Protein backbone atom coordinates (compact mmCIF):
# COMPACT_ATOMS: atom_id res chain seq x y z
CA UNK A 1 0.00 0.00 0.00
CA UNK A 2 1.46 3.29 -1.10
CA UNK A 3 0.73 6.42 0.86
CA UNK A 4 1.60 9.83 -0.48
CA UNK A 5 1.06 13.44 0.45
CA UNK A 6 2.12 16.93 -0.46
CA UNK A 7 4.35 18.49 2.20
CA UNK A 8 4.75 22.21 2.81
CA UNK A 9 8.50 22.85 3.07
CA UNK A 10 11.06 25.56 2.38
CA UNK A 11 13.39 25.03 -0.59
CA UNK A 12 16.76 26.71 -1.09
CA UNK A 13 19.15 26.23 -3.99
CA UNK A 14 22.78 26.75 -2.98
CA UNK A 15 25.71 26.99 -5.38
CA UNK A 16 29.43 27.31 -4.66
CA UNK A 17 32.60 25.30 -5.13
CA UNK A 18 32.91 22.09 -3.10
CA UNK A 19 36.68 22.60 -3.30
CA UNK A 20 36.52 26.04 -1.68
CA UNK A 21 36.84 25.47 2.07
CA UNK A 22 35.74 29.04 2.83
CA UNK A 23 32.40 28.34 1.10
CA UNK A 24 31.93 24.80 2.49
CA UNK A 25 32.84 25.86 6.05
CA UNK A 26 30.68 29.00 5.88
CA UNK A 27 27.64 27.11 4.58
CA UNK A 28 28.13 24.24 7.04
CA UNK A 29 28.24 26.66 9.96
CA UNK A 30 24.99 28.41 8.99
CA UNK A 31 23.16 25.18 8.10
CA UNK A 32 24.41 23.34 11.19
CA UNK A 33 25.10 20.22 9.16
CA UNK A 34 27.51 19.10 6.48
CA UNK A 35 26.91 19.47 2.75
CA UNK A 36 26.84 16.06 1.03
CA UNK A 37 29.94 16.04 -1.19
CA UNK A 38 29.47 12.54 -2.63
CA UNK A 39 27.39 12.36 -5.81
CA UNK A 40 23.75 11.23 -5.49
CA UNK A 41 23.63 11.48 -1.69
CA UNK A 42 21.77 13.59 0.86
CA UNK A 43 22.33 14.47 4.51
CA UNK A 44 19.53 14.79 7.07
CA UNK A 45 19.53 16.39 10.49
CA UNK A 46 18.28 19.97 10.96
CA UNK A 47 17.41 20.09 7.26
CA UNK A 48 17.62 17.78 4.30
CA UNK A 49 20.45 18.69 1.95
CA UNK A 50 20.53 17.07 -1.47
CA UNK A 51 23.59 16.87 -3.74
CA UNK A 52 22.56 18.19 -7.17
CA UNK A 53 25.98 18.52 -8.82
CA UNK A 54 29.64 19.20 -8.03
CA UNK A 55 28.81 22.81 -7.12
CA UNK A 56 25.09 22.72 -6.36
CA UNK A 57 22.86 21.66 -3.45
CA UNK A 58 19.21 21.78 -2.54
CA UNK A 59 18.34 22.55 1.08
CA UNK A 60 14.88 21.44 2.19
CA UNK A 61 13.72 22.75 5.53
CA UNK A 62 10.65 23.83 7.47
CA UNK A 63 8.67 26.32 5.41
CA UNK A 64 9.00 29.19 7.89
CA UNK A 65 12.79 28.77 8.20
CA UNK A 66 13.78 29.20 4.56
CA UNK A 67 13.74 33.00 4.39
CA UNK A 68 15.85 33.33 7.54
CA UNK A 69 18.27 30.70 6.32
CA UNK A 70 18.71 32.53 3.02
CA UNK A 71 19.50 35.76 4.87
CA UNK A 72 22.01 34.01 7.13
CA UNK A 73 23.69 32.28 4.18
CA UNK A 74 23.88 35.56 2.27
CA UNK A 75 25.51 37.25 5.27
CA UNK A 76 27.97 34.43 5.94
CA UNK A 77 28.99 34.00 2.29
CA UNK A 78 28.97 37.69 1.30
CA UNK A 79 31.62 38.54 -1.28
CA UNK A 80 32.13 34.92 -2.31
CA UNK A 81 31.40 33.40 -5.72
CA UNK A 82 28.14 31.75 -4.69
CA UNK A 83 24.42 31.74 -5.51
CA UNK A 84 21.68 31.42 -2.90
CA UNK A 85 18.09 31.25 -4.11
CA UNK A 86 14.86 30.73 -2.23
CA UNK A 87 12.83 28.38 -4.45
CA UNK A 88 10.06 27.73 -1.91
CA UNK A 89 7.50 29.37 -4.18
CA UNK A 90 8.53 27.39 -7.23
CA UNK A 91 8.86 23.87 -5.93
CA UNK A 92 6.66 21.32 -4.23
CA UNK A 93 7.69 18.33 -2.12
CA UNK A 94 5.74 15.08 -2.19
CA UNK A 95 6.43 12.26 0.24
CA UNK A 96 5.64 8.63 -0.55
CA UNK A 97 5.70 5.77 1.92
CA UNK A 98 5.58 2.03 1.35
CA UNK A 99 7.61 -0.92 0.17
CA UNK A 100 5.84 -0.89 -3.19
CA UNK A 101 6.93 2.68 -4.01
CA UNK A 102 9.99 1.57 -6.06
CA UNK A 103 7.73 -0.58 -8.24
CA UNK A 104 5.25 2.28 -8.63
CA UNK A 105 7.95 4.77 -9.65
CA UNK A 106 9.62 2.22 -11.94
CA UNK A 107 6.57 2.45 -14.21
CA UNK A 108 7.78 5.83 -15.41
CA UNK A 109 11.36 6.31 -14.22
CA UNK A 110 14.58 4.83 -15.62
CA UNK A 111 16.48 4.74 -12.30
CA UNK A 112 17.07 1.38 -10.61
CA UNK A 113 15.27 1.99 -7.32
CA UNK A 114 15.79 -1.46 -5.78
CA UNK A 115 16.39 -0.86 -2.04
CA UNK A 116 19.83 -2.47 -2.32
CA UNK A 117 20.87 0.23 -4.82
CA UNK A 118 18.77 3.21 -3.75
CA UNK A 119 18.52 3.29 0.05
CA UNK A 120 18.20 5.88 2.78
CA UNK A 121 20.51 8.80 2.02
CA UNK A 122 20.55 8.21 -1.74
CA UNK A 123 19.12 10.75 -4.17
CA UNK A 124 19.00 11.46 -7.89
CA UNK A 125 17.66 14.00 -10.31
CA UNK A 126 15.85 12.20 -13.07
CA UNK A 127 12.62 12.02 -15.00
CA UNK A 128 9.36 10.63 -13.63
CA UNK A 129 6.35 10.38 -15.93
CA UNK A 130 8.09 12.84 -18.29
CA UNK A 131 8.53 15.38 -15.46
CA UNK A 132 11.92 16.49 -14.10
CA UNK A 133 12.16 15.46 -10.47
CA UNK A 134 14.60 15.30 -7.59
CA UNK A 135 14.04 11.98 -5.85
CA UNK A 136 15.48 10.96 -2.47
CA UNK A 137 15.09 8.04 -0.09
CA UNK A 138 14.68 9.69 3.31
CA UNK A 139 13.40 6.97 5.67
CA UNK A 140 13.70 3.24 6.42
CA UNK A 141 9.98 2.44 6.03
CA UNK A 142 10.88 3.30 3.19
CA UNK A 143 9.95 6.95 2.69
CA UNK A 144 10.73 8.77 -0.55
CA UNK A 145 10.65 12.47 -1.26
CA UNK A 146 9.97 13.84 -4.71
CA UNK A 147 10.70 17.50 -5.37
CA UNK A 148 9.05 18.85 -8.48
CA UNK A 149 8.36 22.24 -10.04
CA UNK A 150 5.09 23.64 -8.71
CA UNK A 151 3.50 23.89 -12.14
CA UNK A 152 4.05 20.15 -12.67
CA UNK A 153 3.00 19.07 -9.19
CA UNK A 154 -0.72 18.76 -9.86
CA UNK A 155 0.00 16.66 -12.95
CA UNK A 156 2.36 14.41 -10.99
CA UNK A 157 -0.16 14.07 -8.14
CA UNK A 158 -2.84 13.07 -10.66
CA UNK A 159 -0.44 10.53 -12.14
CA UNK A 160 0.24 9.08 -8.67
CA UNK A 161 -3.49 9.01 -7.85
CA UNK A 162 -4.26 7.23 -11.09
CA UNK A 163 -1.52 4.63 -10.63
CA UNK A 164 -2.49 3.93 -7.00
CA UNK A 165 -6.28 4.28 -7.47
CA UNK A 166 -6.13 6.68 -4.54
CA UNK A 167 -7.52 10.11 -3.79
CA UNK A 168 -4.57 10.98 -1.55
CA UNK A 169 -2.38 14.02 -1.80
CA UNK A 170 -5.13 16.48 -2.66
CA UNK A 171 -3.82 19.95 -3.32
CA UNK A 172 -5.18 22.27 -0.67
CA UNK A 173 -3.72 25.60 -1.84
Partner 1 sequence: MLLIACPYCGERAETEFSYGGEAGIARPKDPHALSDEQWADYLFMRKNSRGMHRELWNHAQGCRRWFEVERDTVSYVIKECYEIATPATSRDNQSRAD
Considering only 124, 148, 157, 160, the residue that binds partner 1 (CB under 8 A) is 124
Region from 46-54, 61-69, 82-90, 152-160 binding partner 1, contact rule CB under 8 A = 46-54
Cβ at position 149, least distance to partner 1 in Å: 12
Q: What angle do CA 162, 62, 6 make, to 5 degrees?
A: 10
Helix (H) or strand (E) holding 29: helix 21-31
Is residue 39 within the footprint of partner 1 (CB under 8 A)?
Answer: yes
Site for partner 1 in 66-105 (CB under 8 A): none
Residue 39 or residue 67: which is nearer to partner 1 going by CB? 39
Report the Cα 170 to chain-centroid distance in Å.
20
* DSSP conformational letter for 41: B
Is residue 125 within the footprint of partner 1 (CB under 8 A)?
Answer: yes
Considering only 85, 132, 151, 162, the residue that binds partner 1 (CB under 8 A) is 132
* DSSP conformational letter for 113: -
Cβ at position 162, least distance to partner 1 in Å: 21
Is residue 17 within the footprint of partner 1 (CB under 8 A)?
Answer: no
If 0-12 CB within 10 Å is exposed, 13-18 middle and 19+ buried, where does residue 100 land?
Answer: exposed
Is residue 52 within the footprint of partner 1 (CB under 8 A)?
Answer: yes
Secondary structure (H, E, C), 122-173: EEEEEEECCEEEEEEEEECCCEEEEEEEHHHHHHHHHHHHHHHCCCCCCCCC
Region from 12-20, 60-68, 90-98, 125-133 binding partner 1, contact rule CB under 8 A = 125-133
* DSSP conformational letter for 73: H
Residue 40 or residue 72: which is nearer to partner 1 going by CB? 40
Considering only 126, 129, 161, 163, the residue that binds partner 1 (CB under 8 A) is 126
Alpha carbons 166 and 4: distance in angstroms, whole number = 9
Contact set with partner 1 (CB under 8 A):
39-40, 52-54, 56, 110-111, 124-127, 132
Amino acid sequence: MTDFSRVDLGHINLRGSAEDSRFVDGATKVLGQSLPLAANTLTQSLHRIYWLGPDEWQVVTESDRAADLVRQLEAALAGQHVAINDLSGGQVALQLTGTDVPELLARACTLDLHPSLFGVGDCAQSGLAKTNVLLGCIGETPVYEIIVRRSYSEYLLRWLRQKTHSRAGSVSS
